[in-house]
Structure formats: C-alpha cells, structure tokens
Amino acid sequence: MILTVTLNPALDLTYTVPELKRHAVCRVSDVRVQPGGKGLNVARVLRSMGTPVLATGLLGGSTGEQVRCLLEDKAVLHRFAPIEGDTRRTVVVADKPGVTSLWEPGPMVTDKEWAAFLALFNGLSASAATVVLAGSLPQGLPPDAYATLIDMAHANGALTVLDADGLALRHGLKAGPAVVKPNAAELAAATGLSIETPSGAAQAAQLLRADGARTVVSSLGSSGLIVSTTEQTLHARPPRSLNGNPTGAGDAAVAAIANGITRGAGWSDIATDAVAFSAAAVVASTAGEVCFDTARDIRPHITVNQLPGV
Ligand SMILES: Nc1ncnc2c1ncn2[C@@H]1O[C@H](COP(=O)(O)OP(=O)(O)OP(=O)(O)O)[C@@H](O)[C@H]1O
Ligand SMILES: [Mg+2]
C-alpha cells in the first residue's frame, strides 16, 4: 500500500463567470468542487492507476467533512486525523482572460493535534511500502514536520517520496528521503542556482543529494524531467509540448514515481512512466485526474538519455 500525506488539504472551488468584474455582482455559470492539496492529487492518480493507496493528513470543520465526502465519491480510501480548525478553501474564478485565485490561510494546528497525528501516522506507515509527503505545511507545525514523518516512516521500513518547497523541503532533506521531486523553480530556490537546462538541473540536483536526498527527480515543465541518483543521471522528455492544464502534472509524476519505486522498477522505466502520466495530467482538465489514452499513446515516443559527466 502507498500512503499519501496531505497536512494542509483544501476544498477547491472553481467558479466560471462570463466576465469577472470587481465591486459588482457576477453570475456564476459553472461551479466545480474538488478535493485539493498535492497529497490528495497523488492519491487520486494512484487510485485511478489501480494501485492500493490510503490518504492521510489533517481535516477539520464542515469543510473537512466535505473533503471526506468527495474522497468517498471518488473511492479514495482515507484515514485523516481530526483538527479543531476549519480546512481551507481555495477559490478559483475563471473568466475569458484568465483565472483569479483566492486562497484561505488555512487552520492553525495545535501541538496536541500534531501529536495525535504522529501516533496515527506511526501506525499507518507500519503497513505502507511507500509514503508520499506532498504539499505545504499548515500554520502551527514545525518546519521539520516532514523530517519527523520521514524518520518515522524509515523506522517502519517504508520508502519515502517528498514533494515540498522552501523550508519544508530544506528540513525534510536532512531525514534522507528516498526521492525528492522539486520542479525547476523549487530546485532553483533550494540551491540558489538558476536552472536553464536539463544539465543545469542535474548539477543542482547533486547539491540536494549532498544534503540528504537519495534520488532527486526534478520536473522541468514541457522539457520533461531529470533523475539524479548515485549511479546515473537521466533526462526523460515527452515527444512534444501538450496543450492543457499543467497544474497537478507534477503530482501525477509523483504518483508514477511512488508506484515505480514500490514495485522496484528501474529508473529509466520510472522516468518514462512519470513523463507519460504527467503528460496525461496536462491533457486532463482537473488536477488529480489523468487521461489514460494520452499516457498510452505517448509512452513509445518518450526518450530517455543519459546525461554525460554528471
Ligand atoms: N506542456 C507539457 N507537455 C507535456 N508534458 C508536460 C507539459 N508540462 C508539464 N509536463 C510534464 O509534467 C511534469 C511535471 O511538470 P512541472 O514541472 O510543471 O511540475 P510541477 O510544477 O511540480 O506541477 P504541480 O506542482 O502543479 O503538480 C514534467 O516533468 C513533464 O513531464
Ligand atoms: Mg509540484
């Protein structure tokens, strides 16, 4: 079983309006409600792949209850720890020129709630082959929250995949996660290097490995991704740039990586799967969903090359 951790989930609301006018009434022509947060996107993609997955994290209030119901609608197994505060909502208003996003700050998590989650996580991770930790940390949690969870997962014999940013990534590295998956901007911010090319990303990835990550997979938008391990550096790329919605493409890549390391696949295979499923997520309109026809069609055209000298 793969366990996904979402400490700061959200209820994603998307309103479509003909035109967003400030200080005026705008009639909404379409409303979409989705469970949100990177760990939940990963869980949904794994579920659609047919991989056994359990989603955990923190949920609170009536918004948390709605997220629970939506996960049940989507047949995603879950076991969340309750918190007093209300789970956040992220509101996206879409009109012709683009989208406007309103993100609630999210709940404050108390020390007692965090301690209760740690006890739950310890039990769940004992039966997990792989644990995926993805997304931002809610207010009130220490910046080394992911490091604590990674240590616990490793003590329980699980592999770990970390997809985080900023301080949560920095601290998480110290616990030696099996894989970290920064995108180009996150890798640049973590290393202070500017990432212009796949080789540049490979050099920056080496710094993250020196800081503790066993393998670094860095996603580079439509240029695909690089994989940096102790033995090799690979660059996998899709045959062309696809049109669609790239939000959540990285989460689909994380799902494929977690799936691959769980079954002990080689890195060339895992990188190919990650590129196929993330392209399939670009084509699907909603984060957490993938178009299986796209994954199947582009898979034979994905190239994987060894990067020299890194
Ligand atoms: N336009 C595109 N066409 C084909 N594949 C794409 C495109 N954009 C992204 N991808 C694939 O998706 C993967 C992840 O993309 P990206 O680097 O944007 O992730 P991300 O920023 O972590 O996304 P998110 O956090 O929103 O899930 C890339 O490695 C690539 O394989
Ligand atoms: Mg990402």
pLDDT of residue 110: 98
Percent residues over pLDDT 70 in the chain: 99
pLDDT of residue 308: 79
282 CB under 6 A from ligand 1? yes
pLDDT in tens, 252-281: 999 999 999 999 999 999 999 999 999 999
Has 273 been annotated as catalytic?
A: no
- Atom 15 of ligand 1, residue of closest alpha carbon: 221
C-alpha to C-alpha distance for 76 and 42, rounded to whole angstroms = 11
pLDDT of residue 285: 84
Of ligand 1's atoms, which has the minimum distance to the CA of residue 225?
29
CA distances from 209 to 40, 168, 212 (A): 26, 16, 5
- Atom 23 of ligand 1, residue of closest alpha carbon: 250
pLDDT in tens, 86-139: 999 999 999 988 899 999 999 999 999 999 999 999 999 999 999 999 999 999
CA distances from 240 to 26, 118, 276 (A): 38, 43, 12
pLDDT of residue 310: 62
Please give the distance, rounded to the nearest whole angstrom, from the Cα atom of residue 103 to the centre of ligand 1.
22
Average pLDDT over residues 182-208: 97
Question: DSSP labels for 72-90?
Answer: HHTT-EE-PEEESSPPEEE
**pTM of the full predicted structure?**
0.97
Of ligand 1's atoms, which has the minimum distance to the CA of residue 237?
31
Q: Which residues of 77-106 are buried (b: 16+ CB within 10 A; e: fewer)?
A: ebebbebebbbbbbebbbbeeeeeeeeeeb
pLDDT in tens, 214-254: 999 999 999 999 999 999 999 999 999 999 989 999 999 99
Q: Which two tokens stand for residue 52?
A: 């056994």
- In DSSP terms, 100 is beta-bridged to 93
Would you give the DSSP letter of residue 177?
-
Which position among 251, 269, 273, 293 bears the catalytic label?
251
Query: Dmax of the chain from CA atoms?
Result: 59
252 CB under 6 A from ligand 1? no
Site of tokens 């047919």: 50
